[in-house]
Chains A and B, each alone.
Chain A
Amino acid sequence: MRADDHRDWKLSLGAYALDDLPADERAAISAHLEGCAECRAELRELEGMAALLPLADPARIEAPTVRPPADLGARIEAQIAAESSREGRERRRRRVRLWIGGAAATAAVAAVLALIVLPLDSGENSPAQQVSFASVPNGVSINATLEPHAFGTEIHMYVHGIRSGTLCRVFLKDDNGRTYSAGSFRYRWGNDSDAELSSALDLSQAAAIGVHAGGRTFVAPVSAATALVSGAETDPT
């Protein structure tokens, strides 16, 4: 057998594995396979792939690749930061109730408390929430309090450290990822204490609060929602 022949046979093995060859060509290759261990081994691998192809949906192959939303990573980080400080929070809450608010919050305090979700009242059943945004640039702090009402949720925003005049659009998300506007405000230097807003989403349904400001979006989880996070941890191993 000449080397070129062998190469020709080999290049036909894909079509052979997919059963795409005319009978005569198929017979010739079958004859070659009888005497060629290398091609037989090659064929086994190709047949493995050929057997998988029917699982695939050609429409899905050609569909554009789906990408997670740009802010999902930040949301996950915020949630993990919240979880990671939960233990500390339980201890701290008994000692002192801290209010992170606007100009009063020093950078140090904000850093220590990065994304702690503190109920306003020490009672476990208090539905009001205080949220601090974790994934914000240095020198910036964004905090919010959320209070339940019959109409939805009352929101107080405390922003510090962003450019004066910046438009801030606030929204809530429910645990299906739907977005509910909570209105907008402009941040002004010297007046960074309190913007009052409201959203039609019930606080009990709110999974996250977000702010679009200066071309960026910041999101922090709201612990009132019965999010999936409370599901049992499963060891996959």
Chain B
Amino acid sequence: MAALTRERDVREAYAAHSGELYGFAVRSLGDAGLAEEAVQETFLRAWKAGERFDPEIGSLRTWLFAILRNVVIDLGRARNSRPRVAEGGVEPSVEPLEQALLAWQVEEAMRRIGDDHRKVLLETHFRARPYSEVAEELGVPEGTIKSRVYYGLKALRVAMEEMGYEG
């Protein structure tokens, strides 16, 4: 795809990337309705600026995320400049946007790695449970837990790189 100028290009881009864009929009805006708006606006801007998309410079995915990032900032501004209408209104995200994007990528990468690896990382790292306890619960040797932590982190890196992470 050389540029994103035809309506069919937009449809393909939507089919490939809308899920992730929406996932991040929900994560950073904390509201499904606003997230829909953000994704819609992202594809509209992408289409309008389609001539400027150059796959030599970066992937379509990266470009769309860059646009979404701007849309989320604009939406946040618009929301903050409006008076709070009622209780239950959405609180603006306190997390800086770049960090929210990175956090979302890590969470998404964790969802993409194998179940065994995710389970072990969740239990040992996030829930701080001893390897021996997790090993017993899963009915595997402790060494297996250790190697799953290793392969889990390796898989996480691959998943992050697929999402354009270059750290």
Contact = CB atoms under 8 A, between A and B. Distances in A.
Given A236-B70, A237-B57, A81 B22 contact: no
Nearest to A18: B125
Interface string A180-219: 0000000000000000000000000000000000000000
Contacts of B152: 14
Nearest to A21: B146
Contacts of B147: 11, 14
B43 A80 contact: yes
Interface string B58-77: 00000100110110001100
B157 A49 contact: yes
A30 interface: no
Contacts, number: 157
B27 A60 contact: yes
Contacts of B118: 61
A14 B131 CA distance: 12
Interface string B77-119: 0100000000000000000000100110011001100000010
A62 B123 CA distance: 12
A160 interface: no
A228 B150 contact: no
Nearest to A67: B19
Contact of A79 (B34, B40, B70): B40
Contacts of B75: 228
Contact of B153 (A17, A58, A75, A77): A17
A72 interface: yes
Contacts of A68: 18-19, 22, 35-36, 39
Interface in B126-167: 126-127, 131, 143, 146-147, 149-154, 156-157, 160, 167
A45 B154 CA distance: 8
A20 interface: yes
Given A56-B107, A61-B118, A235 B36 contact: no
B43 A76 contact: yes
A14 B107 CA distance: 18
A26 to B, nearest CB: 13
Interface stretch (A93-101, A122-130, A136-144, A171-179): A171-179
B23 A72 contact: no
Q: Interface residue tally of chain B, by bracket?
A: 35 or more
B146 A11 contact: yes
A46 B32 contact: no
A55 B127 CA distance: 14
Contact of A11 (B69, B102, B150): B150
B131 A57 contact: no
A65 B33 CA distance: 16
Contacts of A237: 52, 57, 63, 66
Contacts of B2: none
A188 B92 CA distance: 49
Contacts of B102: 52, 55
Nearest to B14: A73
A53 B125 contact: yes
25 contacts: A11-B143, A14-B149, A15-B146, A20-B131, A45-B154, A46-B157, A52-B102, A53-B121, A53-B126, A55-B106, A58-B122, A65-B23, A68-B18, A68-B36, A72-B36, A73-B11, A76-B14, A77-B11, A176-B33, A229-B41, A231-B74, A233-B48, A234-B45, A234-B74, A237-B66
